[in-house]
Structure 1
Amino acid sequence: MATTTGDSVAAELPHIGTLTQAQVRGGACVWCAVMLRTTTAIDLGPREAEFHGTVARWFPRGCRSCTVQSAYLALLGHAQCCDQCEDDPARCEAGRRLRRAVREARR
């Protein structure tokens, strides 16, 4: 069974137009394209993309290594520009979600 980061990892995903079919359908990591199994995949949450005027949902997945790195970099980027994280990180909802995503991806 694939694990999930709970909330979507607030990280930049590659543009859907640059991904292979396997990456779009969740069979391969969206970042490194390694083939995934249900036991190794981490669900990144549903996303929406527009194709020729129609909005379609897709469900990206990542490998553990790429997901940890992406969530960690998103957390660092957020913490550097968030006044609430500087004052009291426990009170920042976005920071809490990102820290949880890093912890869950490391499991």
Structure 2
Amino acid sequence: MTPVETDRQLPSVSDMLEQQQRGWACVWCRTWFPVGLSTDLGQQRVVPATGAAYLWFPRECLDTAACATRAAQ
């Protein structure tokens, strides 16, 4: 999948579950993805105040309206 830009600012990686950081679940609503049913938001690099830099791989739901409803609950 080709990474896309999102109008929303990505949440802080430190507030996410491992599944969200690895692209297995939506960064917004935490829904698990079936294979191929998500939007790649592009590889991200984090440089924490302490420790080593690392990469994370955010993805979001294809159905953004349903995602927003789930995230608001």
With the length of structure 1 as denominator, give the TM-score of the two structures. 0.52
Partner residue, 1:8: 5
Q: Distance in 1 between matches of 2:57 and 2:7?
A: 14
RMSD over aligned Cα atoms = 2.4
Of the candidates 15, 21, 30, which is equivalent to residue 18 of structure 2?
21
The 5 A counterparts of 1:77-96 are none
Of the candidates 10, 35, 39, which is equivalent to residue 38 of structure 1?
35
Between Structure 1 and Structure 2, which shows a larger proportion of helix residues?
1
Cα 1:19–1:47 change in 2 (3 A) is same
Native 8 Å contact 1:28 1:36 kept in 2:
yes
Q: Distance in 2 between matches of 1:36 and 1:7?
A: 17
2:44 counterpart of 1:47 = yes
Higher relative contact order (CA 8 A, sep 6+): 2
Identity among equivalent pairs (%)? 30
Q: Read off the aligned partner of 1:35 and give its amino acid letter.
A: W
Q: Read off the aligned partner of 1:54 and give its amino acid letter.
A: A
Q: How many Å apart are 1:8 and its aligned residue?
A: 3.4
Q: How many Å apart are 1:11 and its aligned residue?
A: 3.0
The count of residues paired between Structure 1 and Structure 2 equals 66
Native 8 Å contact 2:4 2:40 kept in 1:
no
Q: Distance in 2 between matches of 1:10 and 1:56?
A: 24
Determine helix, strand or coil for the equivalent of 2:31.
Answer: coil
